[in-house]
Amino acid sequence: MADRITKKKRSKLMSSIRSKNTRPELKLKKLLRGKGFFYQPKVYGNPDFINFKKRLVIFVDGCFWHKCKKHFIRPQTNKKFWMRKINSNVKRDRIVTKNLKKEGWKILRIWEHDIKNLKS
């Protein structure tokens, strides 16, 4: 299937997608305020939130980027590139989770769609 927009427009659109300060992250940040969590700390695995006292890390996983079983829709263009990218994200998530657990951390992975349903 051919892309409906130009390569230049697609590039601009994709470059505007943020990896930090996303709506789901900011909504969860508001809910966790005052509960001992740090937002986007510079630690292994790049969790979205961390509580050092409780040894708890929270990741907010986007449905597309982390291949949610409920909402993931396969890309229609440049399929090989996107599936390689998304599958490597999923593989990296497993490795990070395994390593953090080995170091004694509790890991909570929350899907983007679960946060959208939360009352703020």
Q: pTM (2 decimals)?
A: 0.82
pLDDT digits over 76-97, tens only? 888 899 899 999 999 999 999 9
With respect to residue 11, please indicate whether it lies within any of the assigned structural domains. Answer: no
- Give me the tens of pLDDT residue by residue for the chain, a chain 120 residues long: 556 777 777 666 666 566 677 889 999 999 999 999 999 999 999 999 999 999 999 999 999 989 999 999 898 888 899 899 999 999 999 999 999 999 999 999 999 999 987 775
> Token pair of 86, please?
């998304």
**3 assigned to some structural domain:** no
Q: What are phi and psi of 22, to 5 degrees?
A: -75, 160
Number of domains in the chain: 1
Residue 12 lies in a domain: no
Q: What is the CATH number of the domain that holds 85?
A: 3.40.960.10
Q: Measured over all CA atoms, what is the biggest interatomic distance in the chain, rounded to whole angstroms?
A: 51
Q: For residue 92, which of 70, 111, 66 has the smallest C-alpha distance?
A: 66
Domain that holds residue 103: 19-116
